[in-house]
Amino acid sequence: MNVAITADVHLSAGDNHPERYNALVNILDSLAAQDIEILIIAGDLFDKDCSNYSRFEDICRKYPQIDIHIIPGNHDPDISRSVIVGENIRIYDSPALEEFNGLSFVFLPYSAIAGMGENLGEFRPGKRWVLIGHGDYFGGLKQRNPYEKGTYMPLYRKDIERFSPWKVFLGHIHKPLNIDNLYYPGSPCGIDINETGRRRYLVFNTATGHITSETLQTDVIYLQEKFLVIPDENEVERLRNDAEGRIAAWELTEDDRKRARIRIKATGYSSDREAIMGCLKTVFAKFSFVKDEEPDISSLYVAKDNRRNTIARRVLQLIEEMDWEFGGKEPEKEQVIETALSVIYGAGG
């Protein structure tokens, strides 16, 4: 049996964000085509300003063959069975144990006063079971929800070791993430420019445990890139090659390109800021910028001191030759280069 899982749809009031409703419809259309009869939404189905649920109910009525199981998230903690009506809608406003095809699912709605581990002690789901929750995972995961500071209904590594769920599916982090047997499906539609790339939902086979990622055809695909400019006679050509490589790595179809909204930023030091701006405009001319922006070169400084340029090239060569594993607990290479250049040129080049 296949079960679909998404989270963080953030349906809004009125017609402010029709693309989010369209993403949900896209998921349901895809499930109908695959004869998948269960969709689980792991919290934040609605945005915090939404209190009229009739549009969502109307959508669900069009897919009576799909049962929709929802836990409230931190943005929609007040949704319940008494406020959202639908024959195929089930809302778990308190912790619950449900079985699908003989497999136990523990549903944990968001709580502001308890972690997930504190709620799991009351269940004895058996040897093989699945956790559906909404909150932050603390167990080697650096990513946090950039929109919300603080800790939200934490799940700790020790909780997983103690209760041994077969699979864990969480909402709250909008970026798609997989860590061992823990999955964040991510938001099915980018909430803003910071949620880049194609979006997805997950399909979980309850018999085999196999999980597939299904790409969604969203109304918009957000993309952003940051380029570090290093001053020398080849800086424009190097930037052009780098930018063209980034575009190729996006692997966009022509239809994807039309739906893409981009943000581009250049930082570092240049001997010709005008040429850098012209290069970026030319390379990305076929794309639409978010909010009709232009490439951002506000953090690109002028560097015309040839002596410093020579020092910078030598330092960059030494960085390339370093026997140092960048990333992880250490800074990324780009961070090291940016810091080195700021020392050589100063804040304003």
Question: Which tens digits make up the pLDDT trace of 24-53?
Answer: 999 999 999 999 999 999 999 999 888 889
In which residue are the tokens 């109910």 written?
57
What's the one-letter identity of residue 66?
Answer: I
Q: What is the pLDDT of residue 314?
A: 87
- Flag whether pLDDT at 150 surpasses 80: no
Paired sense of beta strands 67-71 and 89-91, if any: parallel
In which residue are the tokens 């939902």 written?
201
In this prediction, residue 146 has a pLDDT band, given cuts at 50, 70 and 90, of low
**Maximum CA extent, the chain:** 74
Q: What is the pLDDT of residue 143?
A: 53
- Flag whether pLDDT at 135 surpasses 90: yes
In this prediction, residue 332 has a pLDDT band, given cuts at 50, 70 and 90, of confident
Interatomic CA distance for residues 95 and 109, integer angstroms: 6
Contact yes or no for 66/34 (Cβ under 8 A): no
Which token pair is 206?
Answer: 């309850």
Residues in Cβ contact with 89 at an 8 Å cutoff, skipping those fewer than 6 apart: 57, 60, 68, 70
DSSP state of 308: H
The average pLDDT across 137-147 equals 63
Give the chain's domains with CATH numbers: 2-215 (3.60.21.10), 221-345 (no CATH)
Best-predicted range by mean pLDDT among 82-86, 231-235, 323-327?
A: 82-86
In which residue are the tokens 């895809």 written?
30
Interatomic CA distance for residues 297 and 227, integer angstroms: 10
Q: Evaluate the CA torsion angle 34, 38, 41, 47 in order and state its sign.
A: positive
Burial class (CB in 10 A: 0-12, 13-18, 19+), 190: buried
Question: Which tens digits make up the pLDDT trace of 68-93?
Answer: 999 999 999 899 989 999 999 999 99
Q: What is the pLDDT of residue 349?
A: 52
Question: Which tens digits make up the pLDDT trace of 270-314?
Answer: 989 999 999 999 999 999 999 999 999 999 998 877 788 888 888
Interatomic CA distance for residues 293 and 23, integer angstroms: 25
In angstroms, what CA-CA distances link 235 with 3, 275, 313? Answer: 50, 9, 12
In which residue are the tokens 């798609």 written?
176
What's the one-letter identity of residue 202?
Answer: L
Which token pair is 108?
Answer: 């944990």
For the entire predicted model, the pTM comes to 0.89
Where helices occur in the chain by DSSP H, the ranges are: 18-34, 54-61, 116-120, 157-163, 235-250, 254-259, 273-283, 306-321, 333-345
